[in-house]
Amino acid sequence: MSFTLDEWTSGANKRYMNLNVHIQGSFWNLGLSKIEGNFTSEACLALVKKKLEEFELNLKEDIFAISTDGASTMKRFGGLSGKKHQLCLAHGIHLAVVDVLYKKRTSPCSTEVSHASADDDEDDLDSLEPVLRDI
């Protein structure tokens, strides 16, 4: 089995961890666990072990791999777990897109606009005339 893990914060600013266990073709949501206090990598590992035990699963014996987001806490958690750890690619792509779309610019964008005259347009067309004749 493998599992995916993610942290979620409610509208009331309460934090939870969700755990899904996967086997080929199926998955089970083991539910939310409330996060109390500082959520370190060690606290995450303890919470995962506790949640797995509720379903008579053991991290060392029953789980092969883990997938999490790319937060530094989760990266360290993956190392502490002793399991194969895959960062969620969809989450990484989402963060990259959000960063591009919503990142505040540190320098103003260039707002120069070319003010070409009608004569400039005619000169451009005149230079293309010999090329167009040969086609």
pLDDT-derived band at 70 (thresholds 50, 70, 90) equals confident
Task: Look at residue 122 and tell me whether its pLDDT is greater than 80.
Answer: no
Residue with the bigger pLDDT between 61 and 135: it is 61
pLDDT, one tens digit per residue, over 5-26 is: 988 889 999 999 999 999 999 9
pTM (two decimals): 0.64
**Region 2-101: CATH code:** 3.30.420.40
Complete DSSP assignment for 2-70: EEEEEEEE-TTS-EEEEEEEEETTEEEEEEEEE--S---HHHHHHHHHHHHHHTT--HHHH--EEEE-S
Q: Tokens standing for 76? A: 């360290």
Task: Look at residue 132 and tell me whether its pLDDT is greater than 90.
Answer: no
Residue 107 is classified by DSSP as S
